[in-house]
Each structure stands twice: as structure tokens, then as C-alpha cells.
Structure 1
Amino acid sequence: MSEKATLKRSLGLWAIVALGLGYMTPTVVFDTFGIVAKQTNGVVPLAYIVALVVMLFTAISYGKMVRVFPSAGSAYTYTRETMGANAGFLVGWASLLDYLLLPLVNALIIRLYMESLFPEIPAWIWVVLYVAVVTFINVWSMGSTSGLNSLLVIFTVLLVVTFIVLASVQLYQGMGAGTLFTLNPIAHENVQAVAVLTGATIVCFSFIGFDAITMYTEEAANPNTVPRAIFLTVLIGGGIFFIAAYYTQALFPDLGVFHLLDDTLPEIGLYVGGKAFQLIFLAGAFAATVASGLASHASVSRLLYVMGRNGVLPRKAFGYVHPKFRTPAFNVIFVGAVSLLAIGPSLELISAVINFGALIAFTFVNLSVIAYFAFQQKRYKRPVDIFSYIIMPSIGAGFTGVLWYFLHADAFIGGIVWVSIGISYMLFLTKFFRTKMVDLDFDEADRPIGKEA
């Protein structure tokens, strides 16, 4: 007789926060700075403030739902349980786009780093090498430790602090704005609301990953700390993004100094601290990006495995587990093949397409609070309930809806095509709604691969 394998409850509050920050990759603020500065007319920090407010409302809604579904932890599960299987499937399908493209984004960022250091070497070589290594590691082992992740996050934060110190010296010596205290990075005469909102849709990409914290609910020493961890991750991450963006915008009010706007991190490091700091800066960003790449590659492979095992995707391929490594080898290789597309597109385009699915998921998390507490539980009779379960999530859904509206046009095209494929697939699975949607469980925490019940 065998017992069902369970996850060890060993993660404290700050270990979970560190996991969330590691997934978010704090150095991404420097990667997308040129893109956002161009879009917002030089008020990147303001775009982060707008995005942070939206994310905080959504984080509060995540916190409410994770208490109700402590072993689920996903926008699609919340939607399925509160609004029905069909709606849950479509939200899950939209979110799958994010999961598939996040490993590609990490490969793209690595490509841009290496191009800045070795411009004479063809870019495709770096993509192929990176994807091959990450794919091999994920086929070989799915294991990771929160301790290693915490060290990585501490190192990344120290790098950001070092950047702020060096930036302060440069500003004091007359670089950029020439002063530590200026409102120009937040407000000036050329600021336009539409431009800021469009920029906020881009920087939402920086926050993607905080919702992954819900996946650690079954490993938290105290599950009640997970809602706090979600909120703290968004608040701390947003604070890091804002401060780093403020100093960077103050240093570089004119984008003319950059040769490559698609990823400005390498040049920022060079201008602020010279060649030596540039190499350290790149090394830290490289390590953080690779760690995020490993995690995102593993996550989407696990997601595809669950979908395959449940019969939503072809079981023979996507539900396959390697007999020796006990990993979903086909899925890992499939995700690696998708990541090879990083050879071509721009970071701006891919991050925008990712945000299409993410903002849909965030909107439905807010709506699921209303659907569960107000409609299912009838908690709308007291003023406090109206505020908590109707007004707050409505504001969150409204904010995410506004950002979704201001997405890049190409993101809309790509996202609509993807959702259309999902609708067609749902019609196929349900035989045009003549049968019920399969009881799909997208959760990564379903059960560890290779463990028998």
C-alpha cells in the first residue's frame, strides 16, 4: 500500500517572497527602459507607478482567492470554479500564451546581452546555445531550491543598490538631470495620459511572476502567509522597479546616447560605472535571466504535462514522462523549440503579446472575487463586504481592463489569433457544446512528476 506523495511545508514568508521576486527578475527594468522611455516621452517611473497600483489591486484579489482555493492558485482555476469550465478554459488558454513565451523572452534577453558584448558573432548562435543548455537541464532534472533562489535575489538587489549608489555619484557630478531630486522623471510638460497608459502595459511585463507565488501554497509552512507574500512581492518588486527607473530616467533624459533601445541594460551599466561595472552588471542580469528562464521553462513544461495527462492535449506526446529522468521530456523539448523563435523578434513585441494574456488573467482574478463572494456566497449585505468583494475587485478589473485596451496593436493581433485558436479547440473538445468541457486542471501543484499515488 502506497501513500500519496505530498509536498513538504518548509517555506516561510520571506522565502516565498524571494521566490516571487526571483521569478519577476528585478533587472528587467533596465532591459525595457529604452522601450518604455520612448513610449512615455521620458516618464518611465510614472508608468511603473500606474502599473504598481493596478497590480496591488490584483494582488489583493489573488490573496482572497488563494484562501478559498489553497491548493489551486491560478487565474484559470478561480475562473473555472466561479464562472464555469468554459470560461476557465479560455482564461487558461490565454494564460498559456504567457507561459509559452516567457522562456522565449529570456532567450531573447540573453541574445541581446551577448550581442552587446560580441557584436561580430551571429545572434542565432547565442539563442541556440542558451536554449540547448536550458532544455538539457530541464530534461535532466526539474529540481530547484528556495535557498539558491534567495541568494540570487539578494545578489540582484545588491546589484540594483550598487547601481543607485553609482548613479547618485554621476548625477551629483552633473550627468543627466544633474541633481538627485527632480520631478522630470515623473512629470513634465510633454507627459500624455495615453502614452503613460501604453507604457504601463509594457511594464506590466516586469510584474509577471508574482502570481506564481500561489503555486507554493502547499509548500508554505503556514498557508495563511501566502496572501501577505503576494502583496509584499508586488509592493517590494514595484518599489525596486520605481526607484531603479527613477535614477535611470534622471541619468538618461535623452535616449540619443543609446545605440540599441530594445535592451538598454548593457549600455546603462557602461555609462554609469565603466567597463568593469558593465561586466558585473551583465553577469548579475545574465544569472537572474537564466534562473528565470529555467523556472519558466520548467513551469510551462509542467503545465503542458498536466494538460496532456488530462487529455486536453494529445496524451501520448504531452503526457509522456521520461522513464529515466522522470521529467516531461517531450514538453521540455517542445518549449525549447518555441524558444528558438527568439532569434528574430523584438523584446517590445514579445513582451506586449505576453501582456495580452496576463492582463486577461488578472482581470478574471478580480472578477472571480465578485463571482464567488458576492454571487455564490451572497456576501453583499454589509458595507464592509460590498467594499471588499465588489468595489475593490471592480476597481482592479477596471484598471486591468484599461491597460488591456492600451496594448500594442501587434499584441492585439497576436492575442486575438491565439484566443481564436483556443475557442476553436474548445468547440472541438465539446463537440460544439454538446458535451461538457473536460475537467481541466492547469495547476502545477497537481502532483510531482514521477510520484505514484
Structure 2
Amino acid sequence: MDNQTGLQRKLKLWHVFALGLSLMVPTTVFDTYGIASGATGGHVPISYLFSMCAILFTVFSYTHMVKVFPRAGSAYTYAQQTFNPGVGFVVGWAALCDYLFLPMLYALAAEIYLSSFFPDVPGWLWIVLSIAFFTIANIFSVKVTISFNAIFVVFQMIICVVFVALLIRELAGSSTSFSLAPFYSANLTMNSILSGSIILCYTLIGFDALSTLSEEAIEPTKTIPRAMIIQTIFLGLLYTTITYFMQLLFPDVSVFNEPDAASSEIAQKLGGMLFASIFIAITVTGNLVGGIAAQLSTSRLLFAMGRDNVIPKRIFGYVNPRTGVPVWNVLLTGIFSLTAVFLSYETAISFFSFGAYIAFSFVNLSVIVYFYRQRKMNTFKGILMYLVGPLIALCFLVLLWANMDMHALLLGLVWNVVGIGYLAYLTKFFSQKPPQFHFDENVSG
């Protein structure tokens, strides 16, 4: 048992891997397929492989830092420890984009499926109802609901396997032959791969959440890094396999009534209304449970910031004495999430990705500074691990930045400018030591 936190170190590798999948919601591959297929010109699988390889270099950087700071596994803490509290504050502020937009993504994903099944109901109503569901669940208690996450992951994995089996059966009975067309064709361009990666990386970047389990894992310096790598490769190959068969059978999603919701129409073509109903029920439920967990994480993060008086403690540091819930944070997060009615799923992903890419960039920079510069690990192996690897990761991130939605970039820049201005206010124009984000390792649960 950890003497400082009272947490029991009882999680083995497979426990961490399973918990990681419950945080990732594997059926997000279906949420993004229609949009990604249009962006890549029918080459989603190759874009997934590219995304997986690009993300893996950053995963390796995370594993290096987790081994050094196993009790504070986050990009924000790495930047604080490696650079200074000011840089850590800015990275932490930028990362709020992740937390604030993640509940919106789950609500928008649920809306896509529900609107395809109930076309006469206004789409905004599904978004409002989803966010209301997240908020109500979090105001009372979510412990039991979150514990169901692992169960829902099992159902999601089953639906993925059945979906692929039906695709293969359909291919066997059609005139379409197996080919490499989803990976390469004459109209494939690097720009289309990158455009798809902007969307698809979102489904892979939850690996950093595993670092929050460091204090409950047996041998965290071994277990957490291995789980990060295994989960990223597992999901990358799973998503590539699923989208390969989808893309092979349906190379052009524009033939569907709602291209953004192509997966639900494909499910109906493969297994009829019964299978389509089960498919939508499982994917929507997964998004709803994921949305509860996302809003929970956001409200607890805001509480941690309020507790440390980084933001007004009277509001954000308040906990309902009867329920033990930071109720104002839950309500404010819910209200902010309602702006999702004005956003498309693709734009929301870009906003979410902005903060993630900043965090990823500073993790890679932290590896270079900490290992290569400060600890002088400049042997041949050290150069490859602590300089070349992070630089490759940074190059991939630059490519993703260059292809990001312009609106997301502008909003992200404005958000960071506001953060720097707020930092100047807190430090009396940088004459005092800036406050630090003391991120709780168990903020997500």
C-alpha cells in the first residue's frame, strides 16, 4: 500500500490494459469512419497505420518520463519538472481543451447515431439530452456507472468482431475481391493521409490516461509503459482491420444518406434492422458512459485547480458536503458542453486535438531536455532513444499541426493567449512564482 496516498498497488499489466480500453471506448472507430473516409478519399486504413506509427513515437517518450516520474504521470508535471512552473502552467492550461471538449465529442457521437435512427428528431435535442444525462449522473454518483465501463468494453469488442465477420461474409458473396486498394491507389496523397490522421489520432490518444494508474500498478515503471505500448498497437491494428474491410466493401461513403453516420447504415445493410439496432444501442451506450467519465474527469480537474487556488477556490474548490461531489464544476462543465450544438464532430475533434498535441509536443521536448541535455545520455543508444525518437515524434506532430482545422488553430491560440494573460495576472506580471497544477493521479475516477 502506498503510505502517502493509501492506494493499493494491485493492478497487473492486463488490469491496466483492460482499464485503458474502458477509457478509450473502442467503438469510436465507427464514430469517425464516415468523416475519415471522406477526408482520406477512401483510404482510412493507411491513415490509421500512419496515425499509429506517429503516435507510437510519442508513446515511447511518455514511457521514458513515466519511469522517471511514476507518481505524476502527465505532460503537465513533466513540463513543470523539466522546464519550470511557468511552462508547466501553460501546458496545463492548453490541455484544458482536451478535458472541456471531450464530453462534447461523446455527445456529438451519440447524436450522429441517434439522428440516423430517428431522422425526424432534431439533432440538437440528442446533444442536449446526452449532456443532461452526463450532468445528472455526475451530480449524484457515478461510481457504479463507471464500474460498468469494463462490461461495456466487452460488448463493444464483441460488436467489433461480429461487425468484421459480417463484412467478410458480405465480401465473400459479392464480386468485390480482396485487394490493397484501401491502403494504396492512384489518387492517394500525403495530404489526404494527414487530413485523416487529424481525425483518427483522436481515437488513439487516450493512452496517456494510463499514467494516472501509476500509484495503483504493481511495478509501475514497467507495467504502465508496457500497457501504453500494447494498447496503442492493439487499437491501431484493430481499427486498421475493421476499416480495411469496411473500406473494401464500401469504398465511397458518399453513397450513404448520411456519410457521417455511414457505420450505422453499413450495419443495417450487413445484418438488417435487428443488428443495426443492437449496433447503435451498444455504440450509443458506450458514448454515454464515456461521456459520464469524461465529464467526471473534467469536473475533478477543475476541482484540483480550484483547491490549489489556480482558479477561484470558492467556486471550483467547492464540494457538496452531503454527496462529496464538486457540484458547481459539474454544472459549469455541462453548461459549457452545450456549445456542442454549434459544432460539427470534425471541428470538435480538432479543438480536442489542439490541447493534446501541445501536451504531446512538450512530453517529447521534456525527454530531450531531461535525458539528453540534463543527464547527458549521449551514447549511441541514448541519442536514438532520447533525441532521434522524440524529434521524429515532433516532426509527425508538426505535420498534424499543419493540416489542422484553421478554426481550431485560431481558437487554440486565443485560448493560450488568455492563459498567458491569466498567468501574468496571477504572478503580478511574472514577478512571483506561478501557481502549479497539482494534478491528482486519480482525477478520472
The alignment's TM-score, normalised by the length of structure 1, stands at 0.93
CA distance in 2, matches of 1:387, 1:285: 41
Q: Residue 411 of structure 2 aligns with which residue?
A: 414
Q: Residue 362 of structure 2 aligns with which residue?
A: 364
User: Structure 2: which amino acid aligns with 1:95?
Assistant: A
SS at match of 1:121: coil
Q: Which moved more, 1:35-44 or 1:142-151?
A: 142-151
**In the alignment, is the contact (CA less than 8 A) between 1:8 and 1:219 conserved in 2?**
yes
Of the three residues 183, 194, 205, the one matched with 1:186 is 183
User: Structure 2: which amino acid aligns with 1:386?
Assistant: I
Q: How far is the alpha carbon of 1:261 from its aligned partner?
A: 2.5
Q: Residue 120 of structure 2 aligns with which residue?
A: 120
CA distance in 1, matches of 2:65, 2:297: 21
Verify: 1:27 aligned to 2:30, yes or no: no
Q: Residue 149 of structure 1 aligns with which residue?
A: 149
What CA deviation, in whole Å up to 9, does each residue of 1:197-228 have, x standing for no partner? 12111111111311100001111133121110
Q: How far is the alpha carbon of 1:309 from its aligned partner?
A: 0.7
CA distance in 2, matches of 1:283, 1:434: 55
Q: Residue 98 of structure 2 aligns with which residue?
A: 98
CA distance in 1, matches of 2:144, 2:205: 20
Question: How has the CA–CA distance of structure 1 residues 144 and 11 changed in structure 2, closer, same or farther, with 3 Å as cutoff?
Answer: farther
**In the alignment, is the contact (CA less than 8 A) between 2:95 and 2:359 conserved in 1?**
yes
Q: How far is the alpha carbon of 1:80 from its aligned partner?
A: 1.2
What CA deviation, in whole Å up to 9, does each residue of 1:380-426 have, x standing for no partner? 1x211111111111211221222122112222122112112112111
> Where do residues 17-416 of structure 1 align in structure 2 (5 Å cutoff)?
17-143=17-143, 148-174=148-174, 178-179=176-177, 181-223=178-220, 224-380=222-378, 382-416=379-413
Q: How far is the alpha carbon of 1:58 from its aligned partner?
A: 1.0
CA distance in 2, matches of 1:67, 1:40: 37
Question: How has the CA–CA distance of structure 1 residues 444 and 263 changed in structure 2, closer, same or farther, with 3 Å as cutoff?
Answer: farther
CA distance in 2, matches of 1:272, 1:104: 30
Identity of aligned residues (%): 41
Q: Residue 430 of structure 1 aligns with which residue?
A: 427
CA distance in 2, matches of 1:357, 1:20: 20
User: Structure 2: which amino acid aligns with 1:196?
Assistant: I
Q: How far is the alpha carbon of 1:439 from its aligned partner?
A: 2.5
Q: How far is the alpha carbon of 1:170 from its aligned partner?
A: 1.0
Q: Residue 451 of structure 1 aligns with which residue?
A: none
* Matched positions, count: 442
Query: Alignment RMSD, CA only?
Result: 1.8
Q: How far is the alpha carbon of 1:142 from its aligned partner?
A: 4.5
CA distance in 1, matches of 2:179, 2:155: 29
The alignment's TM-score, normalised by the length of structure 2, stands at 0.95
Q: Which moved more, 1:323-332 or 1:432-441?
A: 432-441
User: Structure 2: which amino acid aligns with 1:334?
Assistant: L
**In the alignment, is the contact (CA less than 8 A) between 1:26 and 1:157 conserved in 2?**
yes
Q: Which moved more, 1:218-227 or 1:184-193?
A: 218-227
User: Structure 2: which amino acid aligns with 1:164?
Assistant: V
CA distance in 2, matches of 1:351, 1:235: 21
**In the alignment, is the contact (CA less than 8 A) between 1:262 and 1:346 conserved in 2?**
no
Q: How far is the alpha carbon of 1:6 from its aligned partner?
A: 1.8
User: Structure 2: which amino acid aligns with 1:27?
Assistant: T
CA distance in 1, matches of 2:258, 2:387: 45
SS at match of 2:184: coil
**In the alignment, is the contact (CA less than 8 A) between 2:306 and 2:315 conserved in 1?**
yes
CA distance in 2, matches of 1:145, 1:230: 25
SS at match of 1:262: helix
> Where do residues 6-25 of structure 1 align in structure 2 (5 Å cutoff)?
6-25=6-25
CA distance in 2, matches of 1:413, 1:162: 41
Gaps of 5+ in 2: none
CA distance in 2, matches of 1:200, 1:105: 17
Q: Which moved more, 1:196-205 or 1:315-324?
A: 196-205
SS at match of 2:6: coil
